[in-house]
Chains A and B, each alone.
Chain A
Amino acid sequence: METLQSLWYGFSIALQPENLFFCFVGSVLGTLVGVLPGIGPVGAIAILLPITFKLSTTGAIIMLAGLYYGAMYGGSTTSILVNIPGEAAAVVTCMDGYQMALKGRAGPALGMAAFGSFIAGTLGIVGLMLFARPLSQFALKFGPHEYFSLIILGLTFVTYLSHGSMVKAVMMCFFGLMLSNVGLDPITSSPRITFGILELFDGIGIAPVAMGLFGVGEVLVNLEKTISTQIVKTKIRNLFPSKLDWFQSRWALVRGTLIGFFLGILPGGGPVLASFLSYGVEKRFSKEPEKFGTGAIEGVAAPESANNAAASSSFIPLLTLGIPPNVSLSILFGAFLIHGITPGPFLLKDHPDVFWGVLSSMYVGNVMLLVLNLPLIPMWVQVLKVPDRFLYPLILLFCLIGAYSMNNSVFDVYIMIIFGIIGYLFRKFQYEGAPLVLAFVLGPLLDLNLRQALLVSEGSFLDFFTRPISAVTLGLALLLLLTSVFPFVMKRVQKYREATEDEQV
């Protein structure tokens, strides 16, 4: 009952004209970002972040949140029509979505993606609404030891789920921690690695780093390629899936939603992992697994519902624990801090207008996206036809304006360009920016909580393992590390055995 009253209060905020406008702008821009390959939601949130400084906190978060889950909707359009995912979570949708388009069924594929996203996204928001309050109550028991352990778990997940070398991902985590320490020490106010530069006393901003790594870096990488995109030349008609399509997809939608919801909560999980896992599960459960990859409607319904459910549920750890579970929400976390609000267990109590306003706006945004995505598909197709040689300079321009507008300082532009070059080199030398950004955002919290915990326990690390929540959390992190190292160790043992047997022969 209390939850319903709070939700009603949230709607009274979300349905204010200015907040409706921000939700609309965020959703449209998010869909656009999702449609266009190249700049993903991370880069887009980073680029738009400085513009939100002029807005109220609620308005800013509503717009950025709309951008985040809007990108999940938009990513499927390019996957289905061009076979190029608009953003990472839409990679799997390419497999069957594009095949459906080649068979003249682009309309039902796009329709199922939109409806599946709406259903799963709405259910994800319901879950967020139900879980938020109990989780916030639980998080009030957290002290410095528990927060430190939770951050370690979050960082461990990210490195575990990295696409390339885990060693390199862990290195980037530590580099991110180092970067987060630049500036004045929060406890002693001593300047750390500032080189005497005044602008560095406040530390390095998250927006120039993220815009550089994911915006500028991505454009630079694309500049060296010459890929021409071929849009499927078929008239897109009849966006409504047939009764047979709904019947065939019913379990894909349910399972995709559940998988996405639970994976979205976990640090490091999120929409990308959810979409891959749900596709794999559907193929495993299907009576005709061989049709996956040839245009199976379940192959579109499952990943699209999973990534949207995950996009909603990933707000749970951010809003209730103050732990951003993925890179996009790390920047959103930065947005909260810039507006003077710390997400976490006290958000619900101290800023219920922000919490319930944002949550209610997600319901509204979900409806807007369903309404926008279906009729506007022909428009998105036209947008896809904008040549890259016009698009990339515009993206760079938005990045430059965004970086400058943060503090009206060219210094932030320098930082962004430096990280743009770093982002480009990362891709060449096969390092990942995501662990760096996550560690960069969580670094100040980790530093503060670790030092406070050690002060309280007088230097003893035992307290991390004797306090129940901290012990369980660190145990999970250790288990994760061991399971990731285990296959590597087994491979080495196997090789040694084979080499020994060969010698004996």
Chain B
Amino acid sequence: MNRHDFVSGLFWLAIAIFVFAKALELGVGAFSNPAAGFVLFWSSIFLGVLSIIVIAKSVVKGQGKHLVELWTGIQWGNVLIAVIILILYSLVLPRLGFVFTVFGFLLALFMLGGIRLWVAATSAIITVAASYLLFHTALQVQLPRGPFGW
């Protein structure tokens, strides 16, 4: 039951059931007059059937790796920290603006990669300046402003 195909199959079955319910809410219509939920309805049925096949294969044949094996012997902590940094970036960006948020983002990621603090800080400053010049000044991309106007 802890095999990765069993878990993923259950997940997709849940998605299929959810979309099936939403399709019924929207209305499926008839073949002669399909409604807004028509493609969603049939897609969810097919996805549900296929996810049951994946679950069945996992249970009957014992197919798939154990969940623990997927994250054994690798630096999964780096991935988790990187995701947290990405989420924090998106939450902080509208408040602090591009310059400060990107500086913090790059500093955190460079240090995650094992770069020393002063090298990471210097590299982050150079990258922030270069990307600001490239995207905001040269390419006229509207970047969010912080409390100091940039």
Does A368 sit at the interface, judged by CB under 8 A? no
Residues of chain A within 8 A of B53, CB atoms compared: 167
Q: How far is the CA of A127 from the CA of B40 in the complex (A)?
A: 39
By the criterion CB–CB under 8 Å, are B79 and A223 in contact?
Answer: yes
Does B24 sit at the interface, judged by CB under 8 A? no
By the criterion CB–CB under 8 Å, are A454 and B106 in contact?
Answer: no
A399 nearest CB neighbor, chain B only: B86
Find residues 21-37 in chain B having any chain A CB closer than 8 Å to their own CB.
Answer: 22, 26, 30-37
By the criterion CB–CB under 8 Å, are B70 and A428 in contact?
Answer: yes
Residues of chain B within 8 A of A405, CB atoms compared: 135, 141-143
By the criterion CB–CB under 8 Å, are B50 and A170 in contact?
Answer: yes
By the criterion CB–CB under 8 Å, are B75 and A390 in contact?
Answer: no
Q: How large is the interface on A (under 10, 10 to 19, 20 to 34, 35 or more residues)?
A: 35 or more
Residues of chain B within 8 A of A443, CB atoms compared: 39
Residues of chain B within 8 A of A401, CB atoms compared: 131, 135, 141, 143
Does A274 sit at the interface, judged by CB under 8 A? no
By the criterion CB–CB under 8 Å, are A174 and B32 in contact?
Answer: no
Does B99 sit at the interface, judged by CB under 8 A? no
Residues of chain B within 8 A of A410, CB atoms compared: 90, 93-94, 144
By the criterion CB–CB under 8 Å, are B113 and A454 in contact?
Answer: no
Q: A385: shortest Cβ distance to chain B, in Å? A: 15
Would you give the 0/1 interface string for A414-432, flagging 1 where the beta carbon is closer than 8 Å to chain B? 1001001100100011110
B87 nearest CB neighbor, chain A only: A417
A interface, by DSSP: helix, strand, loop or mixed? helix
A403 nearest CB neighbor, chain B only: B90
Residues of chain A within 8 A of B78, CB atoms compared: 223-224
B35 nearest CB neighbor, chain A only: A188
Residues of chain A within 8 A of B44, CB atoms compared: 174, 178
Q: Among the listed A170, A389, A454, which residue makes an inter-chain contact with B32, where contact means beta carbons less than 8 Å apart?
A: A454
Does A177 sit at the interface, judged by CB under 8 A? yes
Q: How far is the CA of A17 from the CA of B142 in the complex (A)?
A: 26
Find residues 83-134 in chain B having any chain A CB closer than 8 Å to their own CB.
Answer: 83, 86-87, 89-90, 93-94, 102, 105-106, 109-110, 112-115, 123, 127, 131
By the criterion CB–CB under 8 Å, are A187 and B36 in contact?
Answer: yes
By the criterion CB–CB under 8 Å, are A224 and B74 in contact?
Answer: yes
Q: Among the listed B40, B83, B113, B123, which residue makes an inter-chain contact with A220, where contact means beta carbons less than 8 Å apart?
A: B83
Does B150 sit at the interface, judged by CB under 8 A? no
Find residues 29-61 in chain A having any chain B CB closer than 8 Å to their own CB.
Answer: 50-51, 54
By the criterion CB–CB under 8 Å, are A171 and B33 in contact?
Answer: no
By the criterion CB–CB under 8 Å, are A178 and B43 in contact?
Answer: yes
A188 nearest CB neighbor, chain B only: B36
Does B82 sit at the interface, judged by CB under 8 A? yes
Find residues 409-468 in chain A having any chain B CB closer than 8 Å to their own CB.
Answer: 410, 413-414, 417, 420-421, 424, 428-431, 443, 446-447, 450-451, 454-455, 458-461
Residues of chain A within 8 A of B66, CB atoms compared: none
By the criterion CB–CB under 8 Å, are B36 and A190 in contact?
Answer: yes
By the criterion CB–CB under 8 Å, are B109 and A177 in contact?
Answer: no
Q: Among the listed A221, A389, A431, which residue makes an inter-chain contact with B8, where contact means beta carbons less than 8 Å apart?
A: A431
Q: How far is the CA of A192 from the CA of B39 in the complex (A)?
A: 11
Most chain A C-beta atoms within 10 Å of own C-beta, residue among B50, B54, B75, B143: B50
A461 nearest CB neighbor, chain B only: B31
Does B139 sit at the interface, judged by CB under 8 A? yes
Q: How far is the CA of A224 from the CA of B113 in the complex (A)?
A: 11
Contacts A54-B139, A401-B141, A405-B135 given; does A394 touch B127 at CB 8 Å:
yes
Residues of chain B within 8 A of A450, CB atoms compared: 34, 38-39
Interface pairs A-B: 3 shortest CB-CB: A389-B113, A459-B32, A459-B31
* 15 intermolecular pairs with C-beta atoms under 8 Å apart: A54-B140, A170-B46, A174-B43, A190-B26, A192-B22, A220-B83, A223-B82, A389-B113, A394-B127, A405-B141, A405-B143, A424-B79, A429-B5, A430-B4, A451-B39
Known: A178-B40, A389-B112, A431-B8. 20 other contacts (CB 8 A): A171-B50, A178-B47, A188-B35, A190-B36, A192-B26, A193-B22, A221-B79, A224-B74, A224-B76, A224-B79, A396-B86, A401-B131, A401-B143, A410-B94, A429-B4, A443-B39, A447-B38, A450-B39, A454-B31, A459-B33
